[in-house]
Structure 1
Amino acid sequence: MPPPIRIAVLECDTPLTQTRERYGGYGGVLTKLLHSAADAIHMPREALDISKWDVVNGAGEYPALDDIDAILITGSRFNAFDNDPWIVRLVEFVRMVLSQDRVRVIGVCYGHQIVARVLGAKVARSEGGAWEASVCDVYLTPRGKELFRKEALSMFQMHKDLVYYYPQGVEELAWSDKCKVQGMYIAKRVITVQAHPEFTEPIVREILETRRQQNIFDEDTYQDALARVVKPQDGVVVGEAFLRFLVE
C-alpha cells in the first residue's frame, strides 16, 4: 500500500455550537466529507492522513511543506479581502505553497476566495450584498463536467462575498446565477469551489437560524434559504473530485 496522502486542513473559523459539539471543528467536518468520498470511490480511509491547523486562534503555526502533500483551506465567516494579521499570514502561506509545485491546494468557499486573492483576482462583497445561501444550482463548464463527472451540481452555499473574475492561468469550472466564479482549477496544483461540499442539512439549519436571530438574514432571505435546505445536494460528488485531484 502506498504511503497515505498527507492533507493539512487549515481551519479558518470555529463552527457554531451544535456543529462544534458533533465534529470538533471544521477540520472534523471536512474529514467526514473526505472519508465519505473515499468510501464512495473505494479508497481506504487509511489512505488519507488528515491534520488540522487552527490558523485563526493558534500561535501562527503552519505545517512544514516537507511534511504534507496538500492543504485544504476551509470556509469562514471572515472576509478574505481583509488584512487582519492572521489573514495576512494565511495569504502569505498560501502564496508560498503556490510558489512550489508539489504540495497541492484545495479551497472551499473562503478558501476559494483566499486562493483567488493570492492569484491576483478581485475578491469583494457582492453588489448589493446579496446572499447565496442553502442549496443552489451550480452550472458546469466542460472542464467542470469532466472533473465532477456530472452535467450540473446542486450545492450548499453560504456567502455574500465573491471572486469577481478568474485569475490568469486557471481553468474555469463553474458558475451560478449569483456568482460567476464558482470553481477554479490548475492541473496537479489547485482545485477550489465557492460552495460548501462539507455542509449538511443540520449544519446549514443551525447557520440559518443563528443568522436570523442575529439579524444577519432578514425574514425573506431566511425563508427562501430554509425552503431549499432539504433539497438533495452533491457535496460528496465534489469530495470525490478532490480525492481524484490529489492522486492525478
Structure 2
Amino acid sequence: MASLPLRIAVLECDTPQPGTRSKYGGYGGVFTSFLKSGADALHYPGLTSSSGLHITSYNVVDDPSNYPSLASIDAILITGSRHDSFSSSPWILKLLSFTEQVLRQRRVRVIGVCFGHQIVGRAMGARLGRNARGWEASVTPMDLTKRGQEIFGQNTLAIHQMHRDIMFAYPEGVEPLAYTDKCAVQGMYAPKRLIAIQGHPEFNEEIVRELLLVRHAAKVFDDEVFEDAMGRVDKYQDGVVVAKAFLKFLLE
C-alpha cells in the first residue's frame, strides 16, 4: 500500500480553452480539482482535498525536457490532448519513451486519460488510429466488464467523451474495463501498475460545453455531432466515481 502523501505528476499534453484556463490554469489544475473531489468522496484516513495529495504539473508539449524524476513521484497521470496519439511528433515520441521507461519499472504507477490512455496502449504495443465510426463526445454511457464493475463499484458508467481516435485492441497484460458500441477499448487495468480510460472523467459540463462550441465554430464538429453532444452535455456523469477508483488504484 502506498504511503501518503500520494505524489502525482500530471503530464499536461494540451492547453485548455480560454474559459477553462482562466478557472483552472492548465490541465494540471483540472486534474487537481478532479482528484480532490475523489479524495473527499473516498473517506480514506489522511486523504482529503486538503491533505494527502501532492500534485505537480509538467507541460510536456512546450517543454519536452520537462519531466519528473521517478524517485520524486509515486505516479504519472497523462492527460488528454487534441493531438494524435499515433503521431511521430518529437514531443510525442519523447512522451512515449518516458511512458515506456515508467512501465519497465514497478514502483511508479501510470494513469492515462483519453490521449493518455492511447499513449499507454501504444507504449505497450497497441495499434492506434481514427475511428471509422466517428466522434464520441459529451456524456456517454459505457458498459463495464466484470473487472470494471469491481473497480468502479457499479454496473455501468457514464462519463464525458471527446475523441475520434481509438486503440483498436487491448495490449497484452491488461484487463479490459469498459466498452461502448463505437469504441470497444474504453478502459484497461493492471494491478499496481496502470489504469487508463478513454473518456474524460475530469471534465464537467462547463468544460465540455466550451469545447463543443469552439469545435463547432471551427467546423471540427458538424451540426449533427454538435447538436447530439450538446443534448447530453448536462446529463449526470460519474466523474467522482472514476476519481475514487484512480485513488484506490494508487493506494492498493
TM-score normalised by the chain length of structure 2: 0.96
Query: What's the counterpart of residue 33 of structure 2?
Result: 32
Whole-angstrom distance in 1 between the partners of 2:76 and 2:120: 11
Whole-angstrom distance in 1 between the partners of 2:64 and 2:88: 17
Q: Which moved more, 1:22-31 or 1:55-64?
A: 55-64
How many residue pairs were aligned?
Answer: 246
SS at match of 1:35: helix
Q: Which runs of 5+ in 2 are unaligned?
A: none
Structure 2 contact 64–94 (Cα < 8 Å) conserved: no
Whole-angstrom distance in 1 between the partners of 2:114 and 2:10: 14
SS at match of 2:112: strand
Give me the CA root mean square deviation.
0.8
Whole-angstrom distance in 2 between the partners of 1:13 and 1:139: 28
| Runs of at least 4 residues off by over 4 Å | none
Structure 2 contact 135–164 (Cα < 8 Å) conserved: yes
Query: What's the counterpart of residue 83 of structure 1?
Result: 88
Structure 2 contact 201–240 (Cα < 8 Å) conserved: yes
Structure 2 contact 17–211 (Cα < 8 Å) conserved: yes
SS at match of 2:231: helix
- Within the candidate set 23, 34, 53, 1:48 is matched to 53
SS at match of 1:7: strand
1:59 CA drift (Å): 4.8
1:41 CA drift (Å): 1.1
- Asked whether 1:147 is paired with 2:148, we answer no
TM-score normalised by the chain length of structure 1: 0.98
Deviation per residue, 1:46-70 (Å, 9 max, x gap): 1110000000012522101000000
Question: Which one-letter code corresponds to 1:109 in the other structure?
Answer: C
Query: What's the counterpart of residue 243 of structure 1?
Result: 247
Deviation per residue, 1:169-224 (Å, 9 max, x gap): 10010001110000010000000000000000010000000000000000011000
SS at match of 1:199: coil
Q: Which runs of 5+ in 1 are unaligned?
A: none
- Within the candidate set 178, 187, 192, 2:191 is matched to 187
Whole-angstrom distance in 2 between the partners of 1:59 and 1:195: 25
Whole-angstrom distance in 2 between the partners of 1:100 and 1:9: 18
Change (3 A) 1:59 1:88: closer
Query: What's the counterpart of residue 134 of structure 1?
Result: 138
- Asked whether 1:170 is paired with 2:171, we answer no
Whole-angstrom distance in 1 between the partners of 2:76 and 2:169: 23
